[in-house]
Structure formats: C-alpha cells, structure tokens
Amino acid sequence: MRELLRFHPLYQERVWGGRALETALGRTLPPSPAGGSIGESWEIVDRPEAQSVVQGGALNGQSLRQVLAEHGADVMGPKWSIGKPFPIIVKWLDCRERLSLQVHPPAALAKVLGGAEPKTENWYIAHTAPDAHLIVGLKRGVTRDRFERAIAEGTVEDCVHHFRVAAGDSILVHSGQVHAIDAGNLILEIQENSDTTFRVYDWGRVGLDGQPRTLHVAESLRSIDWNDFEPAALRAAPTSGTIADAPEFSIRRVVLGAGERFHVRAGEQARILSVVSGAVRANLENTPGSRPPFGQKIDRGDNVLLPFAGAFTFTAETTAILLVTENFS
C-alpha cells in the first residue's frame, strides 16, 4: 500500500464556530441547526467516537482504523503495533468567537485523573481578522492563589498572556499550558490523539443548548503549569524550517516556488502533508505515467497521510507552503 491517503472531513458544530471553512478554503459545509456554527473539521482522526474514512483510491471507504489493521506495516512502518490508534489528530478550527480558557493535563497527572489524556498541540495561523490574538500561558508573576481569586472575581483575563498573531505564525502548546484561541482566527491544529480538555473559564458564555457549559476548575488548577510565563509565537517566515519540535511530533514548514518540487522517499517514516497556501501536484514515484503535472492536485486546506512505503514528488503549481508532520510513529 503505497498511495497517499485522503480522508473525508468530519465537521463539528461549536458555539464559537462560523462558516469560514467555506469562504477561506472553498469547502461545501453541511447545514447547521445552530445557525451555521461549524467550528471544527476533523481531517485525520482515529478515535472510538470519530473515524476518518478514506476518500478515493484503492482503499476508498475504509476507516483509518481498518487501514491500520490491514496495512499497518505499509502505512506506519514495520515496527508498528497492530491495534494501536493513529497517534495524531489534524483539525481545522474556525474560531469566529473566542474559545474557552482551558488546559490539557500533563502526562503524569492524566494517569491519576481517570480516563484523561495529555495533549500537546500546534496551532498554525492560516488566516486572521484584524487585531486577532491568542492566549497562551500566564502573565509574568501570576500565582495559583491570584489565579483562583481571579476566577471567583471574574478577572481571569488579567492573569493570562495575550499576544497578536498574523497569518503564517504558529505556536506549540504543551500539556499544562493554559490557553485560549481568540476570535477571528482560522487555525490548522495538529495534536496528539487526545480529546481531554479541562475548561477553567468560559467568559460567561452559554452552549448551543442555551445552558452554561461544564467547567473543570479543580482539574484545571491541578493541571496548569504555574511556571509557564509569556511564551512567544514563532512568527511567519518566507523560508523553510522547523516550526515545532516536541517528543510527540515535529512539524516542518516547506516553502516552494512555482514549479519547485518536494520529494518524500519510501522506507523512512509515515508523514502527514498539509497544504496551507497554494496548491501542489502529487506524483507517486517509480510509477509509469505518473509524472508532473499529471498527478493528484492537493489544494490549500487539504491534509493527506503519506505511508511509510510510498515515495512521492510534490510539484508546486504556484508558490505553496506545506506543513510536514513527522516523528510520530
């Protein structure tokens, strides 16, 4: 099994979502009973509650879990343990409004919070409204006692670190970092396979059902890294380079001019390729008749899984920016 794998997106309603995946990425979104609030598109996921399904190719219609069970060595490499879930989730986030202030438990603590999972994630800012911000970490000098008082007083915003962002910026958010995405951001989130989120504060908002959303204040206070002050984003750059390097995964930004190529060799590792600007043509190497420009087109917003056994050439149709996620298998 050497061909790249595309998947059908799984769209999720969120109280803070909108319709930017239509306007920015040219997608056709399903109707939403909540007034159009599609907040997330799960692009690649292998969870009990959500399964990516292959779109096109020889494995069309198979779930990611089925693909790994039947072709695990080809997709992930010969050391892959059959039955292990795919370790990464890729999502688009349309943050029309601000998300809750939240934290994911660090690995050591997750083990004692029944069923909790750690989650390190990377945010790549694909588009922003004017003056858009992120919230990551604490303001310098904030203590747990001060933060707890601020929750009771409704002044938590004074305790957290705000910073402005622009398209092309990114930041790696580790388990234990308190964080929120502010309004007006379209973000590609690449994360550990986890769905544990502790909400510490929700700005007085109600959910899609009109009721206040559940908070997890005690769990959040145990999980927050109280020495995490004012982390910095990685600013947009016109050159290729590493934008995230964590024990769980790493991400490279690859910048291509029109006609330039990016090669992926077989037998190295599984990778995820995300097109965040421009478009490329993908060609399976060593296949007769598969030569640029006749391969599959991968547009802005697309995310594909490149199997361990496959070798590919990606040719930019225009200036393109790719994110290559690796070192997760």
Q: Tell me the catalytic residues.
A: 199
Do 46 and 193 contact (CB within 8 A), yes or no?
yes
Do 41 and 92 contact (CB within 8 A), yes or no?
yes
Q: What is the DSSP letter of 35?
A: T
Q: How far is CA 182 from CA 55, 139, 268, in A?
A: 32, 16, 38
Nearest to 119 by CA among 134, 135, 102: 102
Going through 81-214 in order, the beta strands assigned E by DSSP cover 88-95, 101-103, 121-128, 133-138, 160-164, 170-173, 179-181, 185-192, 198-201
The Cα 270–Cα 287 span in angstroms is 20
Name beta bridge partners: 298. 280
